[in-house]
Structure 1
Amino acid sequence: MDRRGRGPRARAAVRGDAPAAAPDRRPGRSPDRSGGGLTVSDTQGELVRTRCDACGSQLAYAPGTQHLRCVACGGTVAIVHAPGDAVDEHSFDAWAAAQGGVRAGILDARLLTCDGCGATTQGTDLSVACRFCGGHLVAAAETDGLVQPEAVVPFGVEQAQARDAFRRWVRSRWFAPGELKKVGDTESLHGSYVPHWTFDARTSSAYSGQRGDAYYVTVKNGDEERQERRVSWTPVSGHVARDFDDVLVPATSQVAERDLSKLGPWPLSHAVPFRAEYLAGFAAARYDVEPPAGLDRAKQKMAPVIKDDVERDIGGDEQRVGSIRTAYADVMFKLVLLPLWIATYVYAGKQWQVMVNANTGQVIGRRPYSVGKIVLAVLAGLLVVAALVLWYLRSQT
């Protein structure tokens, strides 16, 4: 969408402001009790059923589909969205007034009981593996008071496709150690949903600065004349406005923001209303970047766009921006989960990580370099240069 404006669009109503309605009874949801439009759960430890009714084995989300697939018999269970199910956004001001200081980072782990073996597993994530039988444990809803995921971009790249992309990436690295080529064949990949915030805002910015208009004068130096460029500066002030839509900010500190940015752009148009079933078979971390910190980061991402608007509004040939004072209104936000395939391997006693965007197939990562190969390449280059110099000298005699 054009970042200059969202155009007409329906604002998501804050549930707390709407007339009373029948509570949402969809699996994985519970009635809104936040007072700020955020769905919260009543029961910690409630799980989404991930056992196959036919054979009792595990169900996992099948990438690129709308169903769960049994890992043993191949049976499928459709993921059904209720009629009118939509991705909601929440008023930041309403949330800030109602959330009561609950922070994800200080909450205790909860106990999830496996429906396969009956064992309990302690954890803070939305989706984990049973520590006894390896079964999929997917929380039906978040802990009371926390922001619920409103949207998810489902996995679209299967593990085999991700491995092929990982293998191609590894084998295309220049100056990589020879042993690294084997990593792509042996390293295990695990899928994980990474939480992100999106923010909308209507901004109004007052600015002051200077407009520079270029002109040319003729300068004489003896018998020579030349045109010299000069700039006439005029004080200016004004106002610009811009609507921002879906400014994406990581909601986790566990993955570097620069890496997540390199994996983009993330196709938010592929997002669907959150259903816990999409997490089956994959890890899903709880957010640890709180909404206020996320909004601060979103404002940092908005700032250079606003500055560009100011410079265009000033006009002229050059611009000097003295100050910009921005007011933010109608701030809306939501929590969305984005899919990653992650491989972590050890080489020379150090951990290296490669990530695959599980929707687009984009690959990024860090890798070791072979000092020996680099030295040989440098020596080969020097030999080529020496040979060319020798050939040139001989051709001159």
Structure 2
Amino acid sequence: MEHSWVKPVVAGMVTALVGFASSFTVVLAGLRAVGADSRQAASGLLALCVAVGLTTILMSVRHRLPITAAWSTPGAALLLSTGPVEGGYAAAVGAFLVCGLAIMATGLFPALGRLIAAIPQPIASAMLAGILLKLCLAPVLAVRDVPLMALPAIVVWALLYRFARTWAVPGALAAAVAAIALTAPTLTFDAAPVVVVTAPVFDLSAMIGIALPLFLVTMASQNVPGMAVLAGYGYRPRLGGILLTTGAGSVAGAFLGGHAVNLAAISAALAAGPDASPDPARRWIASVTSGVSMVVLGLCSGLAMALVLLAPPVLIEGVAGLALFGALAASIGAAFRPGGAGGLESAAVTFVVTASGVSFFGIGSAFWGLIAGGLIHLLLRPQTPSLRSTRETESA
């Protein structure tokens, strides 16, 4: 008879492998976009793996619940869409640190969480969709520029998305690796793990252009859905404690280049669902195994960076874009769902401004999209009955 621990252990290893393979290219591309060199980007990936692994183990063992942490994939996409900021990579690291502190503060002061929840859902979703759009266009550009390398990856992704969705992006990555091995020139590289400490610089434009939107997308697209996934399987841990733990992990990892650690959303179901164990009380073993496996995978960060250096940048961005199609579809659906007056218009404005990639005063488009959409929402929202009656009385 199969031992009761085998199934959750295997599920935990699969959770970590899928989470790593599905989006490490997004992380590396995002860090490179904000100014990290190859060693700093590899260090950031290693820091995220270790922080994700340790926070997962800590939360799972403490609560005996299948609580799985992850890095913020939408946050990495934000970095890619934002690009270089004033103050360079050190200013981006300062923004990562402030984002982690903000996550911890939200755990300490629930009023901050309520303030974030007050942002209209269409606007928050439209901002995320605008961030993701550029990266999700990359597979099309890859087909144009490197068709012999991109098309096999896209075909594998499409077939697996139909028949084994969990493995769609890892399968596409494997196809891309095979194409790289067959066509890329032979290069010498050091695949050993790299640790690079970067002293943070606190620049106002980086705080507004990176820290604020990174905090918002991490909360809205990762932590809140992650809690919903756990609740769907009957687990209801305190959000405050989770935010304190993942925020502390974000702060610790920021000095090495990690952008944000949060509650896992999609991959959380792999450890919290019945496939991990028929006994809900034993599924925390799966999340602990996932945490251990993620730390081990962090040792492959140097190899992952070497793979990125071997490949055409558009191919790596194309694979990253495939990983985000599901998130793009979900965010567009949530943004443009018919609702109250001004909802569609404010979402459209937020989406267009964010997707434009424009930067003013050194501040990226995600912030301006949020501001523009918010102003349109305030302008077009229905008047309250008291205000309407007052104006009618004055006009009479």
Which is richer in strand?
Answer: 1
TM, length-normalised to structure 1: 0.23
TM, length-normalised to structure 2: 0.23
Which is richer in helix?
Answer: 2
For the pair shown, the structure with the greater C-alpha radius of gyration is 1
Q: Relative contact order: is structure 1 or structure 2 higher (C-alpha 8 Å, sep ≥ 6)?
A: 2
